[in-house]
Structure 1
Amino acid sequence: MIMKTPIVSNQFLIKQLPKPTAFINKEFKVVLASDKWAEDFNFQGKDYIGKSINELFKNVSNKLTETLLACFDGKFPESGTDVYLDNSSKEKWFQWNNIPWYDEQENIIGAIIQTEDVTDRVKNELRIEKLEFLQKETGEHGKIGNWEYHKQQDKFICCGMIRRIFEVDDDYEIDIDNSVNFYKAGYSRNTISMAIFSAREKKTSWNEKLQIVTAKGNEKWVNVSGKPLYKSGEYVGLIGIVQDITDFVQKEQKTKDNEHLLKTLINNLPLQIYIKDTQSKKLLANKSELQFLGIENENDIIGKDDFDLYDKATAQKFRDEDVEVMISQNAMLNKELTRTNPDGSVVTFLSSKIPLKGDNGEVTGLVGISMDISEQKQKEKELKSLISVTSSQNKKLINFAHIVSHNLRSHSANFAMLLDFLASEEDEKEKLRIMDMLTDSSKNLMDTLHNLNDIVAINTESNIIKKEVNVNKKVNAVLKKLKAQLDRNKATVISEISDDVKINVVPDYLQNILTNIITNALKYKKPDVDPIIKLSLNYVQNYTVLSIEDNGLGLDLKKYGTKLFGMYKTFHGNADAKGLGLYITKNQIEAMHGKISASSQVGIGSTFNLYFNEKN
């Protein structure tokens, strides 16, 4: 019993009250309370008598204090609801109803508080309020309407969004039957009819994407879901939603159209296009890329990286490029790369890699663009070759024109001079001598014209026809023709070439080449040494190399090397030398797409290497 508080005679009865009740004095302290009140607030076994309300309920609102003060003034305030944290810090809600507390003399000595735990009710109300808010907002923003059908009342209930979707007036009465008629005749109407039937008869739910025709004649796409309601195993109705997805479908179709347009575009570009993620795995590859890799279906490349498609070294090189592009965020443009196919052919292509960035600026992968330029490279090579040949031919033409002009002018001047001498000479013997000189000049002119004609024939022949020729047979034919010269010079010819070796050449050119080089070896032999001429054969890349070695005078190539194969170039002062043999030889072997080189040492001898092109 608290001091200065009247004794309550029926304490035992109050403790047993079924409703949570507490008696509070004007100092806001608990004088007496029912066991149910102590139980509801977890005060059982605790010393709560004599403690103030504010001490027991630390989070109690000011409104409770105000109502208690009102009770102390004899008023009967309205009930209220408050929240507090229990011993486990969980929120609990209670409803209180306060009235004045009178003593036997009807003096107000405090207030009587009666409470009720309404935690579950409040939480349910909050939950319902949240659900109603979410349903309303979701319905408005997502264009979703809900409906119900009650079998017992044969009543169809729908929200306003359903009416907006179907574009019907507020006074239009929708029922389960005419709602079906809004669905487009054919697939959509049949599908919704079967869905409702199956729900009734087989307890199945449905979720379909269908078309409707509104009351105003507008076509829309909707997503419809529904399920049957059963109570104690008996069918009692249906519930469902309708969502207007027209905008979504139209955007989806537009996206598909754009994707199809983009796909058509990149598939018909003469470029290899692909997209990779940050792990260098393929996300997209166009038709050209698939053809380059020998893959028919795009699905067979999606998710694969370069290690699945190339050898390890090539794949690692491509991966390093990818990482560099994605880390630096700088594009790699038109890098020339080569790839050797399994059949040995080499493919050259230009490769570009461009980083892909997301909305946040971070790299999400890369776009690769490659172009096969093998054909262009081959044409470029052919063009360079053509330019080289044209340049060479042009130089030859200028040289030839110069020589023709010089030589013919020399012969012409010589003829004019001798004819002047002949016209003015009276001595018959001297006239005969001048006539002999004219005859020699005529012979020299014919020789010059003959040689120039041979050179022209070599450089203007457009249809060089090669034939397979046995090398030793051709060598023996030349040696037989030169037998007199060989015997006169006591020459020895050694052939280290097998009897079965054959090469593709112009037969007359080969005979002329062999003749020129062997006769040169005889012309430029050392005075007191019998000439030895050795022929051998080996292979270098696409060439069959015929080497002709002699032990003659040799030549200082540092001094004369650049002039060795020039027209009318002689180096030893030999009276028989005209300087045309090696020039014609070089022209003839180059006409067969071959080449010639020489090595020589003064006093030791020379070696001429003839490269016959077996591929072309």
Structure 2
Amino acid sequence: MQDFISLMGSMISCIIRMEIKKSMAEYSQTNRSDRRFRSLLESLNAGVVIHDANTQIVEFNSKALEILGLTKEQITGKTAFDPHWHFIDENHQILSVDEYPVNRVLETGKRLPATLFGICTENCTSVTWVSVSGSPIKNPDGAVEEILISFIDITKRIETQKNLRESEERFRMIFESLPKLSVQGYNKDREVIYWNKASEEIYGYSKEQALGRKLEELIIPDNLKEDVIRDVSNWMDHGLKIPSSELELKRADGTPLPVFSNHIMLETPEGERELYCIDIDLTNLKLTEEKLRENEERYRSIIAVSNTGAWEYNLENEYLWTSPEYFTMLGYSPDDFNYDFETGISVWQQLMHPEDRDSASRRFLDYLSGEMKDPYENYFRMVHRDGSTRWIWSRGQNLKNPDGSPTKIVLGTHIDITKSKNAEEELKQREAYLSSLLKTIPDLTFVLSRDGTYLDYHADESNLLLSPQQFLGKKVSDVMPQEIANLQMEAIEQAISGRKLVEFRYSIPEEDEIHHYNVRVVAFGLERVIAMITDITDSVRNLNQIKELLKKEEEQNLRLVNFTHIVSHNLRTHTANMLGLISLTEMETPEVFEHEYLRLIKESSSHLEETISHLNQVLDINLEMGENMTEIRLKPVLDAIIQNLALQAKRSGVTIRNEIPDDLHVRAVPAYLDSILLNMLTNAIKFRSDQRDSYVRIYQKITGSEVVLSFEDNGLGIDLDRHGSKLFGMYKTFHGKKDSKGLGLFISRYQVEAMGGRIEVSSKPGVGTTFHIYLPL
């Protein structure tokens, strides 16, 4: 604006100077009167005042009088020092006389470019704003004779500019104060020129961080950058407006931000276009919409899963609306009936079971004709598409007005309770079955409450020690000895709390004999139990007899074991003596062993000693059966055995793969476990195949309370059809190896079984063998 004022003032001053010079020249040349000069001054749209060298006004035009609000008499002869008027600057500060335009030109002798001044009277209650230009008029000697002051009235323009600034400031304050309305301004290069408080809060950039940065660098996601740059350029350059729309922009931390974005294009006085974006944060709205969608989906899922149909009845027009689930629970769709609101009641009655149609319709109509204070509820049957019957639980409630009065709308649901009805019928049949079953049980059966009260019984009267009158309705502590009553109450509580079968035993003297009873207690409902009492006196007596027999058998076994040890010791002693004598004879007279019979005697003696040693091993396994069972971490044991066999395996070209996990534990006798693992691995190495690269793979599998250790090889294999029944026999060999004695598998099986396990085998000749050893965890 100031530049515009300066430009206009300079142009007017220049025109006036030129015309005055021209007129003066013509005047001097033509010696005409100043009438032409006066006419020129009057024709100008600017005020003109001419001062002499003493600043006294010597000439003026009518526009000057109009702008200054003076008459000819008031202005003629006035000087710049007149105290009745003042010049003020654009900040409303009164200027000193030296700063008046005429004095500035007079003092400097130079032209005064267009400058903004305010002119007012003494109290400055009213100000006229003018753009003032001044020029000195000099004589041929260069001295200033007169000063030409021209000015134009720009008061309205100044007021308009002031109002515009105030309006702009008001809007700026509004934009700054809006808490959820983000307003940003961008120049033609998409650089931020305005960023309000809401923008700081919503997008996470402070005003200082945002100003000067490009739109696409701040809030535009990568997938939208090209489109945004194109759209802004099209609007700036071609006037193609960007429509308002929902967008997903981004915050300073990179998180997405849903907004509704409006766009406005403004143009500055200089003709520069500015884009303003007004964004509304939709985060809460989106969250609310998402919750609504989730709730709607949840309710739809509940209805679908629960096999529930919704309905709405309008009493005013007798329309019945039903949800799709109303039909799908019966195997239909609404399209199967040309269904609409008007036919709703007839379709409902059509699907009704014939035996329930009249009663169900009558109950519904009775509800509608009443006050409808209580909820509507009814049970009836409907017919499924496949012809089966479905039990329906129908419930409804009249929709109320805000004042509590009934409307003409009833809302309700249809719930398929066929399973519940079937379960209810099945429960009745089961109760009848259990009642019949109880009558067939010979044991005493009592029904007791949680507090130990006898509620019912079933028994042959001859089995009862007391009459029913002596225990029915009474507590266990009133009928039974205290010790037995305590056991019974503990069993009742455990059965109800744990929902499990609880057993206990008690003994009681009857007719000079101790009788023994076993009691089984099981929960019957939430607060009752059934107690079945079995007389086990005969069983206890027989068990005691069996214990006596077992004791005698153990004593006989002990004597047999001692006998076996004696025989084994004596045989081993005599065999050792025999072998010693043979060795001494061989040392003293070796030539006698050239006789075939003596060689055979020596070999037979050696075999006899070996057989006695093997029998002792088997005997030791049987004697130690079940002893020294400990929990063993398997992998370290197996690694140690593999390490000991490493050289043998390497020379034989056999690779051993241990796939047992580190945390696997088994219960075993340590010595037996070592023996079994060693036998499995040495057999796999010994009976390898020379036709291929040999391996032994050791792996495991958990089955219930057992672990299965598998030893898989690709060796010679065994023909199980021929040798399967003899595989674990003593001294049984199958491959003709000279160093095979047929004892390893026999001992391994005994050791596995002694630890409560078993051993199985699968094999195919020429393919390989897998031994599966089952051990307790």
Decide: shared fold, TM above 0.5.
Answer: no
Q: Which has the higher contact order (CA 8 A, sep 6+)?
A: 1
- Normalising by the residue count of structure 2, what TM-score does the alignment of the two structures yield? 0.35
- Normalising by the residue count of structure 1, what TM-score does the alignment of the two structures yield? 0.42
